Amino acid sequence: MSPVIAEKKDCLDNDSTPSIDSGHRYLVLGAGCAGLSLVWHMLEAGINDPILVLEQRREYVNDRTWCYWNVEPTAFDDLADFSWCKWEVVAEGTTAKAEAGSARLPYIFLASDRFYQRVLDRIAASPNVTLLLGQQVLRVEERADAVIVRTAAATYSGERLFDSSGWRPAAGGRHSKWLQHFRGQRIRTERPVFNPSRLTLMDHRVSQKDGPHFVYLLPFSPNEALVENTYLFAASISPARHRAEIADYLAQFHGLGPRDYEVLGEEHGTIPMGGGAGVVRTDRIERIGLAGGAARSATGYAFLRIQRQCCDIARRMAAGSLKARSGTVPGGRKYRIFDAIMLAALARSPHLAPAFFTTLFQRSPAESVVRFLTERSSIRDDIWIIRSLFKWDFVRMLLRIFWRQPESEARQVIDSAPLTKALPR
C-alpha cells in the first residue's frame, strides 16, 4: 500500500449502503500532535501493520507552538526554534519576582510546522501508513471483532482505534470550570524592548478580579516575542478582550503603544485542567492526547506527556500486550495527589494563585521545580516543594486523602467552587 494524502470526497447518498474498507489493522482519529506522535512512535517501534489516519483539516499550517523543559530526549528536540536557560515568575501588584534557571534543563520552544513536516515526511516514506485529510467522522461503532468508523466519504474498519480527535468541553460537565484559556500574539517592535535571555513564565501584574490571570512572554529577540494572555478556571473570554488585555499589558509594562509594534500572528487554545478523570478505554478504543488526559491537571503542559503516552502505547503494541493494561492517564499517583490538592487549594482561595506560583519558583531549587513540573522529581525534590510551598492546610488535606482515590476529596472542593461565573466579554 502506498501512502495516501487525500482531500474529502463527495458525501455518500443517504440511501446507499457503503462498503467497508477493512484493509487497516489500526485506525487513528485526528492527526494533530497526539495522532502524529502515535504514528511516529509506532513506526519507531517497528509496527508494519496497515495504519489509517483520518484528519479533519485539509492542510497543515503553523497553527500553534509547544513548550517544555528538556528533562529527557524526544525525537523533536532538534527542531526547536528557541530555548531558554533562565526564567522568571512575577508577583501580583509588585516588582518582586522569582528568577531561576538551569543550563542542564532548558525550556524549549517548538513550532508546529516543523513538527508536522518531520512526521509527514516519515509517513510519506512508510508504505503501511495512509493519511487522509479533509475527513469528517460521522460515527464510531465498537463491535466485538472490530471498530467501525464512518466518515462523510467512506466507511472503515480496524482491529483497534486510537482517538486523538481532541478534547471538547462538555456543556455542564464537572470539568467545564477547570480550564486554561489563552490567546497569544507574536509581535515585532520598532525598538528593542525584550530580554531574549530570560522568559517570563507568569506575570501576575494583571487584574485578578475574574480568577487567576497572568501573562506568559517568550522573548525571541530584543524586538520580537510571543505574548499570551491566560486565565485559569474562567468562563470563555472573547478574542477582543484577550487582545485588549495584551495591548494594556504591553503599554503598562513595556511602554508599547499600538503603533509601536506589529502583530505577526496569533494562537489560542483551551486546555482542560481536570486531568484524566472520566477518560475511558474500552477493549478496542483508546483515547490519547488531550482527550486521553495528557495535559497535566495543575499546569496544562502536555507535549512531553503525549510523547510518553504514545511511546508507551507503541511499545505495548510491539510487544503484543496492548490489552495488558487498563486505560490510564500519564503521570504517577503522587502527581495526581499533588495536582488535586493544588487545584482544591486554588478553588478555595483563587486570589492566592499569584503568591502560590511565585513562591513555588522562589523558594525551591530551579531543577527541583522543573523535575516536579515534568513528573521526574525525586523524593528529595518533592520534599523541597512541600517545605517551600505548603503549610498546615496542605498537610491536613494530604493526610485526609493520601490513602483514598487521589482526587476524590479534593474533587468535592473543586466541584463546589463557584468558578464558572459569566465574565464580561
Predicted confidence (pLDDT) per residue in 230-266, tens digit: 998 766 789 999 999 999 999 999 999 999 999 999 9
pTM, full prediction: 0.86
Select from 2.60.120, 3.30.70, 1.10.260, 1.10.150 the CATH code of 179-272. Answer: 3.30.70
CA Rg value for the chain:
22
Q: What is the pLDDT of residue 96?
A: 79
* CATH class of the domain at 5-62+110-170+275-324: alpha beta
Nearest-angstrom CA–CA distance, 282 and 300: 25
Taking 70 as the pLDDT cut, the residues of the chain under it are 1-18, 166-177, 234-235, 274-280, 323-329, 390-425
The residue whose grid cell reads 500500500 is 1
Query: What does the alpha-carbon distance between residue 60 and residue 70 come to, in Å, rounded to a whole number?
Result: 26
Ranges of CATH 3.30.70 domains, the chain: 179-272
CB environment 398-420: b (16+ within 10 A), e (fewer) = beebeeeebbebbbebbeebebb
pLDDT at 300: 87
Q: Which residues contact 256 (CB under 8 A, 6 or more apart)?
A: 189, 193, 250
From residue 254, give the alpha-carbon distance in Å to each of 37, 116, 196, 215, 225.
Answer: 38, 34, 14, 13, 12
Question: DSSP letter at 281?
Answer: B
Q: Note the pLDDT of residue 422.
A: 39
> What is the SS3 assignment for 176?
coil
* Residue range(s) in the chain whose domain bears CATH number 3.50.50.60: 5-62+110-170+275-324
Cell of 34: 497526539
Per-residue cell: 286: 483508546
User: Measuring CA to CA, how many Å separate 281 from each of 126, 166, 286, 293, 300?
Assistant: 28, 15, 5, 12, 22
Q: pLDDT at position 277, please?
A: 47
Quote the pLDDT of residue 280.
Answer: 66
Q: Which pLDDT belongs to residue 353?
A: 87
Residue 396: per-residue pLDDT: 58
The DSSP code sequence of 64-86 is -EEEEE-SS--TTGGG-SEEESE
What pLDDT, on the 0 to 100 scale, is given for residue 342?
Answer: 81
